[in-house]
Amino acid sequence: MKYVTWTSDLNYYLAWYMFFALLWLYAFIEYKTNFIVQVSAASYYFDSNASNEGSASVGKGFKFAYLNHMGSLAMGSFIIGVIRFVKFVFVYAARKTANMSGENKMSEMAVKCGTCYIQCLEKVTDYLNEAAFCYMAVSGENFATSAWNGFLLNIKHMLQFSFSNLIAKVFMFLGKVGITVGNIFSLMFIM
């Protein structure tokens, strides 16, 4: 006979809580570092003019991230942490169900559709959070206001943003090819 105590149940729930806390912490660190880079880039852009080259102030990025917008960064990372947690729980439950049902094609298709939906929701939320943090880095407003204004800005200038993203991807690809070719030729020269 197996005895279950309240401490084993508590440990089970605490393990899930700690897993969620790790997901939230990972998202927070990811968004915080991106926000520091965004503030640095914004300070460089707005400090530059025709006669003077601006400076990218990383210290200002740290100040804004840790003193001014810590709650906003925590809110955005909490949202993405919840979505990642739901995604993990769904995939875990789906695998358990698939193991119990065997070769049931309907359950496999339902799991794939659900996984696709959750991944789509995660990508859209991540994109909106990035837009909110970019807007927050420039304007200094809170998360909710920046998220709404960033969303409206993306809707208003959708064509220009998609074109600039395409150009950026082309240049990044050319840079990767250039670095690879440069490394190959330098290795051949060294050998």
* Token pair belonging to 102: 């065997």
The closest alpha carbon to 84, from 132, 118, 34, belongs to: 118
| CA distances, 97 to each of 37, 110, 120 (Å) | 43, 11, 22
What six digits make up the tokens of 42?
A: 């914004």
Question: pTM for this structure?
Answer: 0.76
14-50 pLDDT, tens digit per residue, is 888 999 999 999 999 999 999 999 888 888 888 777 7
Q: What is the DSSP string of 113-168?
A: HHHHHHHHHHHHHHHHHHHHHHHHHHH---HHHHHHHHHHHHHHTHHHHHHHHHHH
93-138 confidence digits (pLDDT tens): 888 887 777 777 887 788 888 889 999 999 999 888 888 988 898 8
